[in-house]
């Protein structure tokens, strides 16, 4: 999967309390998805057997996002507490799925959808020198 960022921005909100900071970051990439694999359950020389290395090739273009929100609190000039969440989602649509067979033939059909999503939670305690 190749990801090319097209825009990135970071904003920081200062709240009513001077020691409470809410950084917020977003990135919206364009992506090109390419996946290959090997089907090892049907290998052999019969016409319905799959070729090996690769057995199939997936290709599609898509989009996604990467968002981070962090709550940071400084109870004193030296201590720093933080709580955060980061989410990433990527999606590719309308691609091709090519299957390679052991006899050298191949079949191509439409690849409808490929998705990936992740969440990351964090908690931090820091001491500033």
Which tens digit of pLDDT belongs to each residue from 47-56?
Answer: 678 888 888 9
Where does the pLDDT of residue 110 fall: very low under 50, low under 70, confident under 90, or very high at 90 and above? very high
pLDDT on residue 27: 61
The domain spans of the chain are: 2-38+49-127
pLDDT of residue 47: 63
Of residues 40 and 82, the one with the higher pLDDT is 82
Residue 122 pLDDT: 93
Q: What is the pLDDT of residues 71-103, one digit of tens each?
A: 888 888 899 888 888 888 889 989 999 999 888
How far apart CA 53 and CA 3 sit, in angstroms, is: 25
Residue 104, pLDDT > 70, answer yes
Residue 128 has pLDDT above 50, yes or no: yes
Q: Give the Cβ contact number of residue 92 at 10 Å.
A: 24
Query: In this prediction, what percent of the chain has a pLDDT beyond 70?
Result: 72
Question: How do 106-127 and 79-100 pair as beta strands?
Answer: antiparallel
DSSP 8-state symbol, 74: -
């Amino acid at each position: 999967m190749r990801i090319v960022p097209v825009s990135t921005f970071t904003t920081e909100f200062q709240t009513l309390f001077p020691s409470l900071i809410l950084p917020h970051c977003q990135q919206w990439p364009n992506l090109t998805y390419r996946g290959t694999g090997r089907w090892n359950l049907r290998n052999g020389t019969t016409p319905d057997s799959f070729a090996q290395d690769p057995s199939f090739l997936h290709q599609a273009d898509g989009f996604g996002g990467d968002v981070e929100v962090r709550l940071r609190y400084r109870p004193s000039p030296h201590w720093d507490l933080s709580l955060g969440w980061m989410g990433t989602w990527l999606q590719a649509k309308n691609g091709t799925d090519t299957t390679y067979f052991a006899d050298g033939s191949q079949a191509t059909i439409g690849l409808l959808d490929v998705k990936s999503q992740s969440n990351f939670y964090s908690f931090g305690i820091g001491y500033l020198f």
